[in-house]
């Protein structure tokens, strides 16, 4: 049994580590060369036991990433710190994604994953059991299972005509980075609500602050826009935007494919759990295929379990997101 994983983000590499631990051969391909930058730098504390389970905790500790015990929400004229835990000792992480993603990828490669960077999926060839071959811009790949971890790009659904159900109007988040000399600025991630939407500001390393801006009702933003609270700081890199419309694939797994991470479902960054979901869904997929190998489980039962698990999770988070937006005056 072997698996081909498309995408070396946190979903793909977590899945790879879990599969390799179960004795399943893994090949990972990614269209980019690593280390590569990616948005999503504030991580929920629930990620800590997962990183321990994946065997990367020592490496995480070596980096001494920034930690925070909660998130500050500014709404109307008040600011409130929402702790992850009432005692304040459950801490999330802030870090540059390129460092974090590379660390997970290194672990997968150490465990035996074959990695093909700069390799872009172009097409798939199908047979009666599902995907037979993946065609890339450099070579073809065969495997028993094909795992789409390509993020919001969702390459397999495009090739397999898997539709997504949308649960929001089109939502675009704009993001960028500024440099700061003051290492005490923005120690705690902060969400600032106004009549147009929200702004998320968070320091992600000693010298770098990240901002994200989302207008739920109107996604136009001026070129070179910078949040008022960061105007005296120097922008670095090119500001960008991403489509974060709330959506889930109609079948997150079937035949010999699994969709994990953002390829399976997306909510906007206000959920602050994108990376957590990527890792958990990757690990779950790896665990289920490990059960298939070990116990010769029924694949249709595994698909049914995975589809129900992902759909339940999405619907619960969806309800929470709707209520947060409604509290702030946005009906989505
Ligand atoms: C602006 C913004 C801010 C965010 N902030 C947060 C946050 O603070 N906290 C949080 O937890 N989440 C956040 N998120 C969400 C988070 O970024 C994602 O949920 C997470 O990266 C998903 O991981 P993934 O592994 O599924 O996909 P990705 O991390 O997107 O990785 C996908 C990989 O697939 C590769 N790929 C794509 N297409 C192809 C192809 N055709 N062939 C080969 N390879 C391909 C890509 O190069 C990439 O390396 C944010 C998202 C955005 C847009």
Atom 19 of ligand 1, residue of closest alpha carbon: 274
Domains in the chain, please, with CATH?
A: 2-66+96-168+245-327 (3.50.50.60)
pLDDT of residue 300: 95
Lowest-confidence pick of 38-42, 220-224, 286-290, 307-311? 220-224
pLDDT of residue 223: 85
Atom 14 of ligand 1, residue of closest alpha carbon: 40
pLDDT of residue 87: 83
Task: Answer whether residue 218 shows pLDDT above 90.
Answer: no
Mean pLDDT of 93-121: 97
Cα-to-centroid distance, 195 and ligand 1 (Å): 28
pLDDT of residue 127: 94
CB atoms under 10 Å from CB of 322, counted, come to 16
Atom 15 of ligand 1, residue of closest alpha carbon: 274
Question: Which protein residues touch ligand 1 with a CB less than 6 Å away?
Answer: 6-12, 29-32, 38-43, 120-121, 149-151, 153, 155, 173, 175, 212, 242, 244, 261-262, 269, 272-276, 278
User: 47, 211, 275: which to mutate for ligand 1, most atoms within 8 A of CB?
Assistant: 275
Q: Which atom of ligand 1 is least distant from the CA of 122?
A: 41
Contact 275, 260 (CB under 8 A): no
User: 13, 14, 30: which to mutate for ligand 1, most atoms within 8 A of CB?
Assistant: 30
Cα-to-centroid distance, 124 and ligand 1 (Å): 22
pLDDT of residue 10: 98
Cα-to-centroid distance, 38 and ligand 1 (Å): 6
pLDDT digits (tens, 9 = 90+) for 171-211: 999 999 999 998 788 889 999 999 999 999 999 998 999 99
Cα-to-centroid distance, 37 and ligand 1 (Å): 10
Task: Answer whether residue 263 shows pLDDT above 90.
Answer: yes
Per-residue CA distances from 168 to 25, 151, 330 (Å): 38, 18, 12
Lowest-confidence pick of 12-16, 81-85, 88-92, 177-181? 88-92
pLDDT digits (tens, 9 = 90+) for 310-331: 999 999 999 999 999 999 999 9
Q: What is the dihedral of CA 320, 323, 325, 327, to 10 degrees?
A: -140
pLDDT band at 282 (very low <50, low <70, confident <90, very high): very high
User: 46, 98, 150, 238: which to mutate for ligand 1, most atoms within 8 A of CB?
Assistant: 150
pLDDT of residue 17: 98
Percent of the chain with pLDDT over 70: 100
């Amino acid at each position: 049994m072997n698996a081909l994983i498309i995408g070396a983000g946190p979903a793909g590499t977590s899945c790879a580590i879990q599969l390799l631990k179960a004795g399943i051969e893994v090949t990972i391909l990614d269209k980019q060369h690593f280390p590569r930058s990616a948005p999503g730098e504030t991580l929920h504390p629930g990620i800590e036991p997962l990183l321990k389970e994946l065997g990367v905790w020592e490496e995480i500790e070596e980096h001494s990433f920034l930690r925070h015990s909660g998130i500050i929400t500014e709404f109307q004229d008040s600011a409130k710190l929402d702790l992850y835990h009432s005692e304040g000792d459950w801490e999330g992480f802030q870090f540059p994604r390129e460092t974090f993603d590379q660390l997970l990828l290194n672990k997968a490669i150490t465990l035996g994953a074959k990695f093909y960077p700069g390799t872009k999926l172009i097409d798939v060839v199908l047979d009666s059991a599902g995907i037979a071959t993946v065609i890339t811009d450099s070579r073809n790949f065969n495997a028993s299972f094909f795992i789409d971890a390509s993020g919001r790009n969702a390459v397999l659904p495009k090739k397999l005509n898997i539709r997504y159900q949308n649960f929001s109007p089109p939502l675009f988040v704009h993001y960028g980075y500024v440099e700061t000399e003051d290492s005490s600025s923005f120690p705690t991630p902060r969400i600032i609500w106004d009549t147009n939407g929200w702004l998320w500001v968070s320091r992600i390393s000693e010298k770098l602050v990240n901002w994200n801006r989302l207008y739920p009702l109107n996604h136009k933003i001026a070129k070179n826009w910078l949040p008022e609270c960061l105007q005296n700081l120097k922008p670095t890199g090119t500001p960008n935007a991403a489509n974060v419309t709330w959506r889930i694939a109609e079948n997150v797994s079937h035949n010999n494919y699994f969709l994990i991470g953002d390829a399976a479902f997306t909510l906007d960054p206000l959920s602050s759990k994108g990376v957590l979901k990527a890792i958990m869904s990757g690990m779950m997929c790896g665990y289920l295929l490990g059960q298939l190998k070990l116990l010769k489980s029924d694949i249709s039962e595994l698909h049914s379990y995975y589809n129900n698990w992902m759909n339940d999770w999405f619907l619960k988070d969806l309800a929470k997101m709707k209520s947060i937006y409604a509290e702030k005056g946005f009906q989505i």
